[in-house]
A and B are shown apart, each in its own frame.
Chain A
Amino acid sequence: MVGTSHDRLSGTGGLPMKTATADQRVKPPEQRPRRAHPWAWFFLAPAFLVLLTFDYWPLLRTFFLATQGTDLFGAPSGFVGTDNFELMLTDPRFWNTILVTFIYTGASVVGKVLIGLAIAIPLSSRLKGTPLLRSIVLIPMAVSVAVAALVFKMMFQPGTGLFDQISGLFGAGPAGWLTQPQMALLAVVIVDVWCGLGISVLLLLAALDGVPEEVMEAAQIDGTGTLQRLWHVKLPLITPTLFFILITQSIAGMREFTVINLLTGGGPGTATNTLVIDIYKTAFGSGTSDYGAAAARGIVLLLIIVTLTFIQMRVLERRVHY
């Protein structure tokens, strides 16, 4: 349960970057057996209790729920083994959901990284006045996803919204932002990219600023052009950060609910029906309430997130590049 509290900002669906190396420290040198201070467990207790109640226990319960059938009234109808998984995996709608989830996540991660770079690179070139610009770019971090989604929804309104009005100036008709399947998917990606832009630019700026001046000067003396330096020197030097953004934002994208729920509710049809939206609808949607099927989908989400986190730890052990 804890994951949600920070993921949008710091992308901590995954582990922070230093975990992998931080713990391989030397063992404490002392010879006598260690005995915990009596107060230590008392200090750990509140946090333990919360995590046990709202993370570990519900995780177990989710696995249990996934083996339970559901009757017409939404009440559990007893043990059904792997039925929920079999039904899910043979349902073409489920595979469509997975496809939509990956397209949505992939597109928004690519958007965040590319647009993030397009903003961070010129910003990091140490011009006068950039502190102000740097602050402005952080604005998306301050605006809640719900508010952002609702503002964009207004701008996406067919005909009267800002986007259709602007395209109208060029003689184009309404684009069907939230009503055409592909446009709707594009719309939710745009909003998600905007929401994640602040943190993406922030991290990229810190990385770009961290590239030592001497390295760039050396490259310049060697007679490389600006673009060459960018491509062959700067970008390789910030690959750890690029990778960090890639993974954490992938995790965030896989888990995004607010943007899609508020803009399209998963529609039109199933065009924006991602895994998380599907879990929510299956468990709490109007009419249906199938906790078993929803729990099975929840476990799929868990597997995806755990996989992404392990990739992150693996690659970090190898120290992406330097």
Chain B
Amino acid sequence: MSNTTKTPKTMGTSKTTERSSAQRINWRSTPTYVYLTVVALLVAGPVLFAFVGAFTPTGTIIGGGAPWFTAWTLENFSTAFRNSPLLAQFGNSVLVTLAQASLQLVTSLMAAYALVFGNLKRPNLVLAFFLVTMMIPSETTIIANYLTIRSIGLFDTLIAVFIPFATSAYAVFLFRQAFKSFPKEIHEAAVLDGVGPVAFLFRFLLPLNKPIVMTISLVSAIAAWNGYLWPLLITESPSSRTVQVGVAALSDSLSVDVGSVLAGLAFVSLPMLILVIFGQKFLTKGLTQGAVK
């Protein structure tokens, strides 16, 4: 975590920026601005489309395609909620996301702590046990996992949705990298002073590694919220579907009512949009470290 990578944000506001942009007031960079604005509009386009359309009366969404700012309505949302159990599925997704993210956090914190401070005989072998799983695509093991879940009677339950993801080798790896820079002597001293491993983990390591903990929680939560293939396969009844699968069903059933489908889509994407906006700092930092030299 203590990587030298600078986040885009800090660089964007560095001194050089202010100087150079104050010097030449921008006539030369106008084309760049225009270009970037067009790019931003194109990138944000689908999201804008969904949010504008969600508040536009369906009849006025011209031809069922382009929404125009003619009138505002909340009708689309009530139609969407009336025609599908989207609200209940939203609750399911919240539960799954909380369970999956916190399980991943706890199990990988514990594993990483043992890897670094457990005085293991062959720590690299144990690490390899984790890393190898990152090469196994879940699409390969999905049939076997489906059979496992069916045979232990968890099919069509919320537990089945998150239990296979109760740990994350990637998180173990990132926590291990972060913990390695922690002085071993302090750990030894704390242990001699009678601090137990659990207490050490929560009183020393966690507070000192808040940024990486935030990053991993955020990434875990986003991944859990966005899951699609596994929840689609392992649940069946509308009441145990997650919101991603539910909104796909809504989109099928209301396909002519464009406004309501867009309302459902906007509703589903809102939590993560908010989370990403507020967690931007942690996300950019966490995701670029390890990838950029």
**In the complex the two chains form, what is the Cα distance from A10 to B220 in whole Å?**
11
- Of the candidates B127, B230, B288, the one having the most CB atoms from chain A within 10 angstroms of its own CB is B288
Q: Is the CB of B49 within 8 A of A213?
A: no
With A40-B118, A58-B145, A206-B284 known to touch, is A280 a contact of B229 (CB < 8 Å)? yes
**B161 touches A (CB below 8 Å):** no
B134 touches A15 (CB 8 A): yes
Which residues of the partner chain A approach B106 to less than 8 Å between Cβ atoms? 46
CA distance A148 to B265 in the complex (A): 9
Q: Does B137 contact A (CB under 8 A)?
A: yes
Report whether B258 and A137 are in contact in the complex, using a CB–CB cutoff of 8 Å. Answer: no
The verdict on A315 contacting chain B, using a C-beta distance below 8 Å, is no
Does B66 count as interface, using CB distance less than 8 angstroms? yes
Q: Which residues from 273 to 289 on chain A have a C-beta closer than 8 Å to any C-beta of chain B?
A: 276, 279-280, 283-284
> Is A127 a contact partner of B21 (Cβ separation < 8 A)?
yes
Q: Name B128-172 residues within 8 Å CB distance of A.
A: 129-131, 133-148, 163-170, 172
Q: Does A13 contact B137, Cβ atoms closer than 8 Å?
A: yes
Kindly report which residue of chain A lies nearest to residue B18, judged by CB atoms.
A128
Residues on A with beta carbons closer than 8 Å to the beta carbon of B204: none
Cross-interface CB contact of B244 among A4, A135, A146, cutoff 8 Å:
A146
Contact A18 B177, beta carbon cutoff 8 Å: yes
Cβ of A232 < 8 Å from any Cβ of B? Answer: no
- Majority DSSP secondary structure for residues of B touching A: helix
Among listed A79-87, A92-100, A176-184, A290-298, interface-contacting one: A290-298
In the complex, per-residue mask of A296-322: 1 if CB is within 8 Å of any chain B CB, else 0: 001101100110010000000000001
Are A127 and B33 interface neighbours, CB within 8 A?
A: yes
Report the count of interface residues on B (CB-CB < 8 A): 120
Which residues of A are found within 8 Å of B20, using beta-carbon distances? 126
Contact of A2 among B43, B168, B244, B247 (CB under 8 A): B168
Q: How far is the CA of A148 from the CA of B226 in the complex (A)?
A: 11
Expressed in whole angstroms, the Cα–Cα distance for A148 and B48 within the complex equals: 12
Q: For residue A1, which residues in chain B have a CB less than 8 angstroms away from its CB?
A: 133, 136, 138, 141, 145, 164-165
Q: How far is the CA of A23 from the CA of B134 in the complex (A)?
A: 17
Q: Which residue of A lies closest to B47 (CB)?
A: A139
Do B139 and A206 touch (CB < 8 A)? no
CA distance A126 to B147 in the complex (A): 53
Whether the Cβ atoms of A295 and B11 lie closer than 8 Å is no
Q: Determine if B287 and A154 form an interchain contact, defined as CB atoms under 8 angstroms apart.
A: no
Does A270 lie at the interface of the complex (its beta carbon under 8 Å from any beta carbon of B)? no
B107 cross-chain contacts in A, Cβ below 8 A: 46-47, 50
Contact B46 A148 (CB under 8 A): yes
B residues 19-68 with Cβ under 8 Å of A?
Answer: 20-21, 26, 29, 32-33, 35-37, 39-40, 43-44, 46-47, 49-50, 62-66
Known interface pairs A57-B148, A262-B248; A127-B7 also in contact (CB < 8 Å) = no
In the assembly, what is the distance between CA of A294 and CA of B262, in Å? Answer: 35
Closest to A135 in B: B280
Distance of B94 from chain A, by nearest CB (Å):
14
B167 and A47 contact, CB distance less than 8 A: yes
Question: Is B70 an interface residue, CB under 8 A from the partner?
Answer: no
Could you say which residues of chain B place their CB within 8 Å of the CB of A291? 143, 147
In the complex, the answer to whether B11 meets A126 with C-beta atoms within 8 Å is yes
Contact call A2/B265, Cβ cutoff below 8 A: no
Bitwise interface map of A from 192 to 216 toward B, beta carbon under 8 Å scored 1, else 0: 0010010100110111011001000
Question: Are A16 and B174 in touch, CB under 8 angstroms?
Answer: yes
Q: Is A3 an interface residue, CB under 8 A from the partner? A: yes
Q: How far is the CA of A136 from the CA of B8 in the complex (A)?
A: 13
Contact A2 to B197, CB < 8 A, known contacts A17-B290, A240-B293: no
Q: Which residues of A contact B144 (CB under 8 A)?
A: 57-59, 61-62, 65, 295
Mask: chain B, 117-132; 1 = CB below 8 Å from A; 0 = not: 1111100101101110
CB distance from B32 to the nearest CB of A (A): 5
Q: Which residues of A contact B37 (CB under 8 A)?
A: 133
**CB-nearest residue of chain B to A64:** B144
B43 touches A203 (CB 8 A): no
Chain A 15-56, CB-CB to B under 8 Å as 1, else 0, gives: 111110011000000000011110111011011101101111
B121, B126, B223, B265: the one contacting A5 at CB < 8 Å is B223
Please give 19 more A-B residue pairs, beta carbons under 8 A apart, in addition to A2-B168, A130-B12, A283-B146.
A4-B138, A5-B170, A15-B131, A15-B135, A61-B147, A62-B144, A137-B39, A142-B222, A144-B226, A146-B244, A165-B66, A205-B8, A206-B8, A244-B291, A251-B137, A255-B138, A279-B142, A298-B141, A309-B135
A-B contact pairs, 14 of them (CB 8 A): A6-B220, A14-B134, A22-B177, A41-B118, A43-B113, A134-B8, A139-B43, A141-B222, A150-B247, A159-B63, A199-B287, A298-B140, A298-B143, A306-B135
B-binding residues in A (CB < 8 A): 1-6, 8-19, 22-23, 34-37, 39-41, 43-44, 46-48, 50-51, 53-59, 61-62, 65, 118-119, 122-131, 133-148, 150-155, 157, 159-162, 164-165, 194, 197, 199, 202-203, 205-207, 209-210, 213, 240-241, 244, 248, 251, 254-255, 257-258, 261-262, 276, 279-280, 283-284, 291, 294-295, 298-299, 301-302, 305-306, 309, 322
B interface list, Cβ under 8 A from A: 5-9, 11-14, 16-17, 20-21, 26, 29, 32-33, 35-37, 39-40, 43-44, 46-47, 49-50, 62-66, 100, 104, 106-108, 110-111, 113-115, 117-121, 124, 126-127, 129-131, 133-148, 163-170, 172-174, 177, 197, 219-220, 222-230, 233, 244-245, 247-248, 251, 258, 261-262, 265, 268-269, 272-273, 275-277, 280, 283-284, 287-288, 290-293
